Structure 1
């Protein structure tokens, strides 16, 4: 699946040379089909990814949810992992789970099925509706498959039940104090103790192999790298204004306000990581909600914290977590914004709610006590051990940042605006960012 943004630039991994014009269209990498796409490992706790999550390396999480805001679709996966999964407490919602390695899950509810090329160990866990496929062994320890089949090389079932489905094993099945109540158990060898039951048992000589399918992480990664580079090569046509109250000259550490302004269907900005990393500042978006806005960030290390986001489209600050209002917006004011970290190898996000998507293919992201309203595409994601203090003086471990289910490009550009932009694109001029100071 590809998202195409009209009135922008065609960007695909197969391009031999990145064009610099802002005309034509943007074909987004498949990574943008995922709420979060992490090329390497993902480590987190006490948080969630509201949309679908793809992790090219290993996923290690606890007290964690995936897929809350997805439309229910048990034919597709909410979670894809290219390595192994270690999951303690949480729920995979509105879809299946697909893992290329081994899965170990404790206290996890799977609303859909599980597809694993390696082994699957479920302890005190539940699969509500869907099959479990494993290229190795499925172990159920005090676990329940409510409705769905199990297919694997071996099944080890202890204090567990398969309530409505068949179990088909190419080798062996071992049941201890367990049951397969409304399906057939088929295996070359079966061992059941006196406390175990199966509705029907049959033996087979061979079992046809089931093909394991997942997404092509390597191909998507190649697209992501090409995408970030091409965005970075686009002409700057937006204006970046810096403000520093009480100063006669703005320096990187004195900036307390940044405004991104643009009047075109697609606006490109550039900002240095040192300035963006200044704390206790505001960022204001001054452009149409039907435009696309790409903010290219240069620099190896970025720290984004204690930053308030404003938008002139509604003449105020974004509001989050206010119990007195419906604080969850519809994406109108965030789906047209992308921060492209074209050089960053380290991105630290904390105590901030980022309004817009993040593309940081080379960056190891350290993310806690905050959220991103948009896609998050990065090299890896981890959560440092940081303790915070609440209003009552109690200390607690800062949770992994939340990734909310908004998506760059999910906006509607009126047809006349697109056509007008295409006709005028050849007359774009490079406009340098200017520095302004307030007395």
Structure 2
């Protein structure tokens, strides 16, 4: 299933960034908060004892989880659909609409993508199906979606839930278990080995269906403007509803938009209507409290999507809060700087348990000794020094408390930023380039004419100056060091290597490097902003930071459209992380000014969301990190580095390395 989600994501990113942004919008609607963005990671088999990936694992907010199990192939879609949790309905519906195997199919045909014995993805093979927490206890307990009763041994009833002491000895033992081989002495024989599961479905997925159209044609079709709007015509804003009650919701297309499928989302519940008229009784979740919002998404026959405006509703209930409980009870923090966000549930007189963690629900937090730990209004604990303190949680007249214990282990985590080695590093193709003064690497093909690569490198820095993971095509130019390629070499006689040679080799693992770059970009994108960013009416974009080490700016991509001047004011030897928000960005014909001491060695443009980046008649001063973006860059230059998905254009890369920096909390 994970493979097919990635297939859908990558296809949308390549063929329709706009559609991809809309799908992300649907899935990220709270409280679903599903993200399919590319991110770094590693399988457990790749981890080593003491791995930073394991060291950085954090305690989850909620002590519950989903299981996966085999044997879903006999489940037909119609009855199974009603048993799925709402979050999975939304996810599966987006897959049915946007997976490349669904292209050009009718609604009924698309519904065969995942579920049923004729699944387009899984054929008649066993495949994973998600099961809710209730299934862990067996049978058909309340909240269970089990179709037939089953039991678990009482001795193992809570085997998947356990607590261990928070200390180095226990964490080291857990790391060893994570790194133990399946079938080794640390695992019982009953645990299935992944090697016994066939890696490819018997029909290969998508068997019996027409060949997919080429991405260019799909991109062209999806680029057709979606006219009209999607409107929730009922209920009206401010309508009063009751927890557990129903409200009639009507959705309609207007201005020429004709939806075939409509998703209605609100407070974690979802209703999916696969044919008109789009009117349905929508059940208000029993856990709703105070207010909630409804939003609708409509999808037409071509897979194009529109979103409605949100409709706020007032949730009125006579139920009173009778007790509150902090999930997981007492808190243990490893040491100063360690954080944990409390999750607080309230029990009401109507028998419903609701999440009241947010201060908007009236919950207040306090700590008896702020020299031991502090707590924010939203319930985030932070260790200050070794010791114990009491955390009081109050909502109205109802009060509870827990004990927080802070250890003496350092919890400082750092983001190492090391982007100074390459002048240009792309994961796919580099085309139409001419001069790159530093090192150049591309994961697929490189084509250069009238070029120079590595000309400003020190005379003794000759290793891997030019690397192509695929084919290398060169005409009329110089490589000032060694060139390596993994595919074929096409080279004219007028290509020279004054300080090196050319040979077939693959010295760079572009898959691993791509994962690392995407992980870095995503992690930098989560940094809290501590600088100010303003867009002036005359076209000026001003970034101001005062931190002597790291200044983080959140900037909308639209700020740079039509900009006249980018001004950056930050201290000397500091790092400015400019997180540019948006799926596409354009930089054209504007200048830069630096003040406060900062220069291009300390400027990093990070594009965590961008799939398209266009620059023309422009000069980047600083390093660009856009690992998911196809970059078009002509008649300009960059003074620093570019790390991207691909690059096409004649822009010149000038050597100016980004300063190595560790960003620590």
Range class of TM-score, shorter chain: 0.5 to 0.7
**Does 1:293 pair with 2:576?**
yes
1:317-336 correspondence runs (5 A): 333-336=599-602
CA contact (8 A) 2:522 2:608 kept: yes
Using the TM superposition, give the Cα deviation of residue 346 of structure 1 relative to its aligned residue in structure 2, in angstroms: 1.0
Measured in 2, the distance between the counterparts of 1:312 and 1:13 equals: 38
Q: Name the residue aligned to 2:651.
A: 401
Instruction: Give structure 1 stretches of 5+ with no counterpart.
Output: 1-10, 118-211, 246-255, 315-331, 384-399, 412-417, 426-439
Measured in 1, the distance between the counterparts of 2:474 and 2:524 equals: 36
**Does 1:236 pair with 2:529?**
yes
**Does 1:266 pair with 2:550?**
yes
User: Which of 410, 417, 423 matches 1:35?
Assistant: 423
1:308-387 correspondence runs (5 A): 308-313=591-596, 333-383=599-649
Secondary structure of the structure 1 residue equivalent to 2:514: helix
CA contact (8 A) 2:541 2:559 kept: no
CA contact (8 A) 1:261 1:285 kept: yes
Distance 1:352 1:285, change over 3 A: same
Q: Name the residue aligned to 2:520.
A: 227
Measured in 2, the distance between the counterparts of 1:64 and 1:44 equals: 10
Q: Name the residue aligned to 1:276.
A: 560
Instruction: Give structure 2 stretches of 5+ with no counterpart.
Output: 1-38, 43-52, 59-337, 340-410
Spell out, residue by residue over 1:266-295, the C-alpha distance to the aligned partner (whole angstroms, 9 max, x if none).
Answer: 01111111122224x111011012111100
Q: Name the residue aligned to 2:307.
A: none
CA contact (8 A) 2:438 2:465 kept: yes
Using the TM superposition, give the Cα deviation of residue 357 of structure 1 relative to its aligned residue in structure 2, in angstroms: 0.7
User: Which of 455, 462, 479 matches 1:68?
Assistant: 455
Using the TM superposition, give the Cα deviation of residue 85 of structure 1 relative to its aligned residue in structure 2, in angstroms: 0.7
CA contact (8 A) 1:100 1:116 kept: no
Greater helix proportion: 2
User: Which of 474, 499, 510 matches 1:112?
Assistant: 499
Using the TM superposition, give the Cα deviation of residue 49 of structure 1 relative to its aligned residue in structure 2, in angstroms: 0.6
CA contact (8 A) 2:531 2:552 kept: yes
**Does 1:57 pair with 2:444?**
yes
Greater strand proportion: 1
Distance 1:75 1:302, change over 3 A: closer
Secondary structure of the structure 2 residue equivalent to 1:335: helix
**Does 1:302 pair with 2:609?**
no
CA contact (8 A) 1:12 1:28 kept: no
Measured in 1, the distance between the counterparts of 2:495 and 2:520 equals: 36
Spell out, residue by residue over 1:384-438, the C-alpha distance to the aligned partner (whole angstroms, 9 max, x if none).
Answer: xxxxxxxxxxxxxxxx101111122258xxxxxx9xx97xx6xxxxxxxxxxxxx
Using the TM superposition, give the Cα deviation of residue 111 of structure 1 relative to its aligned residue in structure 2, in angstroms: 1.8
Measured in 1, the distance between the counterparts of 2:560 and 2:623 equals: 15
1:8-19 correspondence runs (5 A): 15=53
Q: Name the residue aligned to 1:181.
A: none
Q: Name the residue aligned to 2:482.
A: 96
Measured in 1, the distance between the counterparts of 2:607 and 2:57 equals: 17
Spell out, residue by residue over 1:203-239, the C-alpha distance to the aligned partner (whole angstroms, 9 max, x if none).
Answer: xxxxxxxxx4511111111100100000001111111
Using the TM superposition, give the Cα deviation of residue 113 of structure 1 relative to its aligned residue in structure 2, in angstroms: 3.5
Measured in 2, the distance between the counterparts of 1:54 and 1:227 equals: 18
Using the TM superposition, give the Cα deviation of residue 333 of structure 1 relative to its aligned residue in structure 2, in angstroms: 1.2
CA contact (8 A) 2:470 2:485 kept: yes
Secondary structure of the structure 2 residue equivalent to 1:275: helix
Q: Scaled by the length of structure 1, what TM-score is found?
A: 0.56
Using the TM superposition, give the Cα deviation of residue 27 of structure 1 relative to its aligned residue in structure 2, in angstroms: 1.6
Measured in 2, the distance between the counterparts of 1:274 and 1:18 equals: 35
CA contact (8 A) 1:305 1:349 kept: yes
**Does 1:77 pair with 2:464?**
yes
CA contact (8 A) 2:570 2:596 kept: yes
Measured in 2, the distance between the counterparts of 1:382 and 1:48 equals: 13
Using the TM superposition, give the Cα deviation of residue 116 of structure 1 relative to its aligned residue in structure 2, in angstroms: 3.0
CA contact (8 A) 1:74 1:113 kept: no
Secondary structure of the structure 2 residue equivalent to 1:214: coil
Higher relative contact order (Cα pairs below 8 Å, separated by 6+ residues) = 1
Measured in 2, the distance between the counterparts of 1:309 and 1:216 equals: 36
Measured in 2, the distance between the counterparts of 1:268 and 1:70 equals: 30
Q: RMSD of the TM alignment (CA)? A: 2.7
Distance 1:216 1:356, change over 3 A: same
Measured in 2, the distance between the counterparts of 1:18 and 1:365 equals: 34
Secondary structure of the structure 1 residue equivalent to 2:600: coil
Measured in 2, the distance between the counterparts of 1:214 and 1:290 equals: 33
Secondary structure of the structure 1 residue equivalent to 2:483: strand
Using the TM superposition, give the Cα deviation of residue 71 of structure 1 relative to its aligned residue in structure 2, in angstroms: 0.5
CA contact (8 A) 2:459 2:499 kept: no
Distance 1:381 1:349, change over 3 A: same
Measured in 2, the distance between the counterparts of 1:370 and 1:291 equals: 26
Measured in 1, the distance between the counterparts of 2:444 and 2:452 equals: 18
Spell out, residue by residue over 1:91-135, the C-alpha distance to the aligned partner (whole angstroms, 9 max, x if none).
Answer: 001x11111111111111112343433xxxxxxxxxxxxxxxxxx
CA contact (8 A) 1:18 1:233 kept: no
